[in-house]
Structure 1
Amino acid sequence: MTLAASAFTQLATWPDLAEAEPSCGVGRALCSPHGEVAHFHSDGDVDLHLTARAIRRFEEHLTRTGAVRLVPGSQWVTVRLDSATDVQLLMTLVSLVLQAHQAWPVPGDGPRSECNDHRSAVHLRENLSGG
């Protein structure tokens, strides 16, 4: 079983999450009563609807890890699952997503934003270092 499949299986047991069709049409999704939470697009990438407000609040921490990619203007973050540590990070971020979604309504953080699957993801630390 891949790390993504294992993480999906574990998250699907959380009481606030349910499997659903992703709005982007690619892969599998998990939703809360407040909207889409995660899109599992491949065996290695998961998009999380963290909300713009939460991304701003935790941006410094998110950019320190090599597992998280951000797209400017997106309310989603992409987590690359290469190790068990990345899966633990994903679980923590899903918990943060659920908390952020409960804080709605926040202007600009509506549930209909497009995930990062069809956008150009960038790793901010690489951009800042010129890499």
Structure 2
Amino acid sequence: MTMALRAMAQLASWPDLTETPPNCGTGRALRTVHNEIVHFHTDQDVDLHLTARAIRRFEDHLRSATAVRLVPGSRWVTIRLEVETDMDLLLTLVSLALQAHQAWPVSRAAPSAECNDHHDMALPRDNSGGS
């Protein structure tokens, strides 16, 4: 079983999340009553609807995580599941996303937020950091 399938199964058991077809049409998704939160596009690529405010608040931490890709202007982050710690990070960020959507709900008047699967380019990992 791939990490994506394991993460999907674990997250689907969370009481606030329900499996649904993704609006983008690719893969599988989990949503709350109000928003799609996670899209599993492939066995390795997962898009997470973190909200623009949460991304701004945690941007430095997100940029330092090698599994995370940010797309300028997107309310979603892409997580590449390659090792077990990437799955742990995904679970933590889904919890953060749920909190962000409760604390700072997206206005019904706001345009629908497309996941990063529809963007041409996710920023590549920067492994040149001092590690």
TM-score with structure 2 setting the length: 0.90
CA distance change for structure 1 residues 18 and 110 in 2, over 3 Å: closer, same or farther? farther
Secondary structure, aligned partner of 1:37: strand
What is the root-mean-square deviation of aligned Cα atoms in Å?
A: 2.2
Instruction: Please list the CA deviations of residues 6-59 of structure 1 after superposition, one character each: whole Å capped at 9, or x if unmatched.
Output: 000000000000000100000000001121000000000000000000000000
Q: In the alignment, is the contact (CA less than 8 A) between 2:20 and 2:29 conserved in 1?
A: yes
1:110/1:3 CA distance change after superposition, 3 Å: farther
Question: What is the 5 A alignment of 1:26-37?
Answer: 26-37=26-37
1:116 has 2:131 as partner: no
Q: How many residues align?
A: 128
Please tell me whether the aligned partners of residues 70 and 124 of structure 1 are also in contact (alpha carbons under 8 angstroms).
Answer: no
Unaligned runs of 5+ in 2: none
* 1:103 aligned partner: 103
SS across alignment from 1:8: helix
Q: Unaligned regions of 5+ residues in structure 1, if any? A: none
SS in 2 for 1:24: coil
The structure 1 segments of at least 4 consecutive aligned residues displaced by more than 4 Å after TM superposition are 106-111
Please tell me the residue identity of whatever aligns with 1:27: G
Partner SS state of residue 112, structure 1 = coil
Q: CA deviation at 1:3?
A: 0.4
1:1-131 → structure 2 map (5 Å cutoff): 1-105=1-105, 110=110, 112-119=112-119, 120-123=121-124, 125=126
- 1:109 & 1:60 partners in 2: Cα distance? 29
Question: Residues 110 and 54 (structure 1 numbering): CA distance in 2 closer, same or farther, change over 3 Å?
Answer: farther
Q: Judge conservation of contact 1:63–1:123 (CA < 8 Å) in 2.
A: no
- TM normalised by structure 1 equals 0.90
